[in-house]
Amino acid sequence: MRAPSLRSISFALLTVLGGAQVGACEGPPASERAPAPRAGPKGVVDLDGGARDPLAPDGRADVLIFVRTDCPISNRYAPKLGRVAARFAAAPVDLWLVYVDPDETPAMIRAHLSDYALPGTALRDPAQSLVARAGVEVTPSAAVFDAEGVRRYRGRIDDWYVDYGKARAKPSTDELVDALDAVLAGRAPARAQTEAVGCPIPPLPGAVASPDQAGVWRGRRGAL
């Protein structure tokens, strides 16, 4: 039997070492790899222009209230939002005011916050990525997300308004507070979705407006 040559031994060693390096480059199995980071919402910024992700996992629930400066129904809810903020001030929950109209400037929003003594942290959503994430269509609308960023409630704050220009003397339900109580207690809200009444969210430039968005805001604004 002929002894292996030096060349064949060298080739075998290179093959083994090369395979080991390829295995090292491949990394751990997919089941052991850390999950890819969740992409933040496109274009969401605070009033100083800093990128923000209100739904980033941080061990806290999040309430998103979608508003615009010129929606009378949103503005009439300012006192209620103040009471909600006070009730949950010590709870692990963050309140965000999401301004959905890309034409509203930081200066306009700051004036609006001051005029109506609105609580929470204001965000601009000019690309309406949070609007899409929450699935809302009018202002004001509320969305409650748990600490993992899962939406648990979407809809009205309460049932004060029953239609455009038609409000009860006082609300008979309190869906936002009920949803928050449930999420903070680790339970699913009794109602995961309700229909909000308010001002249609303006479509982005180039987008096709629904009949409601195109006509209701213009036609009924004076009745709100």
Domain ranges of the chain: 61-223
Measured between alpha carbons, how far is 74 from 65 in angstroms, rounded to an integer? 9
Outline where the chain has alpha helix (H).
Answer: 6-26, 72-76, 78-87, 106-116, 129-134, 175-184, 211, 217-220
Binned at pLDDT 50, 70 and 90, residue 205 comes out as: confident
pLDDT digits (tens, 9 = 90+) for 105-115: 999 999 999 99
- Res 71 pLDDT > 90: yes
- Res 122 pLDDT > 70: yes
- Res 20 pLDDT > 70: no
Q: What is the mean pLDDT of residues 142-158?
A: 98
Binned at pLDDT 50, 70 and 90, residue 137 comes out as: very high
> Quick one: DSSP state of residue 51?
B
Return the CATH fold of 61-223.
Glutaredoxin (3.40.30)
pLDDT at position 9 is 42
Binned at pLDDT 50, 70 and 90, residue 34 comes out as: very low
pLDDT at position 207 is 65
Measured between alpha carbons, how far is 62 from 52 in angstroms, rounded to an integer? 13
**Sequence-distant (≥ 6) Cβ neighbours of residue 20 within 8 angstroms:** none
